[in-house]
Amino acid sequence: MTAIPDNWHLLHSAADIAQRVAQMGAQIRRDYAGKPLTLLVVLKGSFIFAADLCRAIDLPMHIEFMALRSYGDETTTSGVVQITLDMRFPVENTHVLIVEDIVDTGLTLDYLRQNLVLRRPASLRLVSLLHKPSRTVRPVTIDYLGFEVPDHFIIGYGLDNAGQCRNLPDIGYIAP
């Protein structure tokens, strides 16, 4: 059973999310038709989103994984980004679409983009399920966005609360 905190409030139900992911998948399919596509999944938070999104994009693709760390068990960023798992697949000349769960301060994505540009992909874009615009420190272009969310700690659908609640099917926030 998922340990949902008492002060958790629903933002997007599983049905809302499924509908939005299907729309995003259809748009990505149109944009990438005929191009060699690599979905780069940023672990851990985006694993559920990526699993649904890749099945909503009816195109041939590679799926690669990286893990980045910018948070411990706290709800505020440390500002320090570290690659804890890198991909071995050479992305040179492929169209890389980064799959992220949430852009909060933008520090993680800014760091990742700078790193990936050096690997010479044919193109580099970002799909993020969520964006917390009020927290931006480094502005990041989100090419495909699921939902904007308020400045609260978000959990569910892959996003964790101190390692828990990733398996919650809905997205919600913890009231301050």
Q: Which is nearer to ligand IMP, 36 or 133 (CB)?
A: 133
52 touches ligand IMP (CB under 6 A): no
**For this structure, is 104 an active site residue?**
yes
Beta carbons within 8 Å of 118's beta carbon, 6+ residues apart: none
Member of 5, 27, 51, 71 binding ligand IMP (CB under 6 A) = 71
Exactly one of 31, 104, 143, 160 is catalytic; name it. 104
Q: How far is CA 30 from the centre of its chain?
A: 20
Through-space distance between the first and last CA atoms of the chain, rounded to whole angstroms: 24
| Among the listed residues 17, 99, 126, 154, the single contact to ligand IMP using CB under 6 A | 154
Nearer to ligand IMP, 68 or 91 (CB): 68
**Cβ atoms 48, 25 nearer than 8 A:** no
Which range binds ligand IMP by CB under 6 A, 6-14, 26-34, 102-110, 117-125?
A: 102-110
Quickly list DSSP for 118-136.
Answer: TT--SEEEEEEEEE-GGG-
Q: What does the buried/exposed string (b/e) look like for 34-59 if buried means 16 or more CB atoms within 10 Å of the residue's CB?
A: eeebbbbbbbbbbebbbebbbebbeb
171 binds ligand IMP per the rule CB under 6 A: no
* Block residue for tokens 């041939």: 60
* By the rule CB under 6 A, 38 interacts with ligand IMP: no
**Footprint (CB under 6 A) of ligand IMP, residues 81-100:** 100
Binding ligand IMP (rule: CB under 6 A), the pick from 108, 127, 146, 172 is 108
Is there binding between residue 50 and ligand IMP (CB under 6 A)?
A: no
Taking a C-beta distance cutoff of 8 angstroms, is the pair 155, 165 a contact? yes
Rule CB under 6 A: choose which of 29, 70, 125, 147 binds ligand IMP.
70
Q: Which of 30, 31, 159, 45 is closest to 99 using CA atoms? A: 45
- The residues annotated with a catalytic role in the active site are 104
Q: Which residues bind ligand IMP (CB under 6 A)?
A: 45, 70-71, 77, 100-108, 153-155, 159
